[in-house]
Amino acid sequence: MSPPPPLTIPRSAPSASAASSGRLPLLEAGFLRRLEELSIVSRKVVTGRSKGERRTPRKGPGLEFVDHRGYAVGDDLRYVDWNIYSRLDRLLLKLFVVEEDLCLHLLIDGSASMGFGRPAKLDYAARVAAALAYIGLGNLERVAVGLFADNLRRHVRPRRGRGQILPLLEFLGALRAAGRTHLNGCLSDYVFRSRTPGVAVILSDFLDPGGYAEGLRALLARRFEVALLHVVSEDELNPDFRGDLTLVDAESGPTREVTVDRAALDAYRERLRRHFGALEAYCARHRIDYLRTSTAVPFDDLILRHMRRGGFLK
């Protein structure tokens, strides 16, 4: 099979939605060619609705012969190797490599806490999602996108075809951070709405007092292959606040008067470390891919180096 032609986007298209808001363009034109060399990694055999370019180890009807197996009652007689039968008087079935399509689900946290930082965590997550969508569509995978906060706010059902990148870029370029986070409810709702499992990449800061375990279990129970991209701001990792401050919860609104000194910062960093450790440990126990990134990490380094090293891309 000859390789597909390069996926082309008008030079102005990736930055069209960003230009009016002052946000960073989702994908720079010069970066696109490098994305075309990448593909999404899937450890599981995921059966899609139609055949695609992803080779799987599953054997069945296809184009490329790989092996034989003995005939069993009910097998399709079209795949019997009659040449062998005429020579050996044995019924053997011909097996072929099956090529399936993959459905990539990009689930983006659009809650108010994702609006924190420079650049905002949501802007950074949207750029990552745009790159993954570009890679998926370029490899003829199907791509779906969901925006969630306190509920599943917007949902683009799976699309396939290289021409679908512009509508997805427009969708991602218009995201705004607002509302509370309800990870468990939103992920469970997405599972209920989705007809086809696949690779689900969740892009979030995972700052939800209600936790995340129930929602992730719902994805795993439906046979999604789950990967987490944990997006944090550099100001969250290394706050430089000092003195008497009034802190405002970005999502629920309550305020708290605090005195920030060295001891308070040490206690904050310890709680943050425990939060990171608990999420990493959960992912390790359930075979969920996990990658944490600061928005200070250059975007091209994250995609081309860290995500490849972490096994998200190859």
Q: With contact defined as beta carbons under 8 Å apart, do 201 and 105 qualify?
A: yes
Note whether 37 and 80 are same-domain residues. no
Note whether 155 and 251 are same-domain residues. yes
Note whether 75 and 108 are same-domain residues. no
Which CATH number goes with the domain that contains 123? Answer: 3.40.50.410
pLDDT of residue 62: 52
> Is residue 181, in this structure, part of any structural domain at all?
yes
Note whether 147 and 292 are same-domain residues. yes
Note whether 139 and 149 are same-domain residues. yes
Note whether 67 and 136 are same-domain residues. no
> Is residue 81, in this structure, part of any structural domain at all?
yes
Note whether 82 and 221 are same-domain residues. no
> Is residue 1, in this structure, part of any structural domain at all?
no
Neighbouring residues of 224: CB distance < 8 A, sequence distance ≥ 6: 105, 191, 197, 198, 199, 200
Those residues of the chain that have pLDDT short of 50 are: 1-22, 45-60
pLDDT of residue 72: 80
> Is residue 250, in this structure, part of any structural domain at all?
yes
Rounded CA-CA distance 156/168 in Å is 8
pLDDT of residue 231: 97
Note whether 228 and 284 are same-domain residues. yes
Note whether 273 and 197 are same-domain residues. yes
Rounded CA-CA distance 22/66 in Å is 54
> Domain residues for 76?
56-100
pLDDT of residue 121: 96
> Is residue 2, in this structure, part of any structural domain at all?
no
> Is residue 64, in this structure, part of any structural domain at all?
yes
Of 218, 251, 225, 262, whose CA–CA distance to 141 is shortest?
225
Rounded CA-CA distance 110/300 in Å is 22
Rounded CA-CA distance 109/101 in Å is 26
Note whether 134 and 156 are same-domain residues. yes
> Cα dihedral sign for 174, 179, 181, 184?
negative
Note whether 194 and 86 are same-domain residues. no
- Domain total for the chain? 2
pLDDT of residue 11: 36
pLDDT of residue 106: 97
Note whether 81 and 207 are same-domain residues. no
> Is residue 314, in this structure, part of any structural domain at all?
no
